[in-house]
Amino acid sequence: MKFENYGIGIIKGMAVTISHLFRHPTVSQFPEQRLNISRRSRGNELVWSREKCTGCATCAKACPQGAIEIVTSTNLKENKYEVEKYKVDTGYCIQCGLCVEACPYDALFMGYSYERAKYRRNDLIQADDELLESPERPVSGYFHPEIAEKLPKQTLLVEKVTEKRKQE
């Protein structure tokens, strides 16, 4: 005769829940406390470099959504393309990163920023200088390990909590 259904499982379960009550909760309060996101995160906006871009439009061909529009003209004096318009409709962008991988001159990067919601749909269309890198629009390490090395390491919630529990 084995006795195992007399409620021991319930008691064990209740011991687990009550121990959680006295433990530090595994959460962070978002707007005040921010964790470092993944260094290779594919953020909400593309970052474009006017200097490196040759206007070859490989990115526009690679885009499965057709979100990138590029207009070039020929500069006969210096024998190269001149980019007249580089326009990305981020509303169509699916953050697949194919354009970044396709770019042969490392002129296009995924953005590292998040919280990039807009109030108007037209604000989602970004062109030319709006796409350049700036302190507000940092570059993600996606497809670029040399950039990823310089970014802060991602904080894992687990590590944060175990650290806190060690201090207690």
Number of residues that bind other proteins (CB under 8 A): 19
Q: In this structure, what is the dihedral angle of CA atoms 158, 117, 124, 110, given to the nearest 10 degrees?
A: -10
23 in contact with other proteins (CB under 8 A): yes
Looking at beta carbons only, is 26 or 134 nearer to other proteins? 26
Q: What angle do CA 60, 136, 124 make, to 5 degrees?
A: 45
Site membership for other proteins, residue 3 (CB under 8 A) = yes
Q: Does 164 bind other proteins (CB under 8 A)?
A: no
By beta-carbon proximity to other proteins, the closer residue of 33 and 134 is 33
Q: What is the DSSP string of 50-110?
A: TTT-----HHHHH-TT--EEEEEEEETTTTEEEEEEEEEETTT-----HHHHH-TTS-EEE
Regarding 158 and contact with other proteins (CB under 8 A), the answer is no
41-80 footprint of other proteins as x/- string (CB under 8 A): ----------------------------------------
Radius of gyration of the chain, Cα coordinates, nearest whole angstrom = 24
**Tokens encoding 6:** 């007399």
Return residues touching other proteins (CB under 8 A): 1, 3-7, 10, 13-14, 16-18, 20-21, 23, 25-27, 29
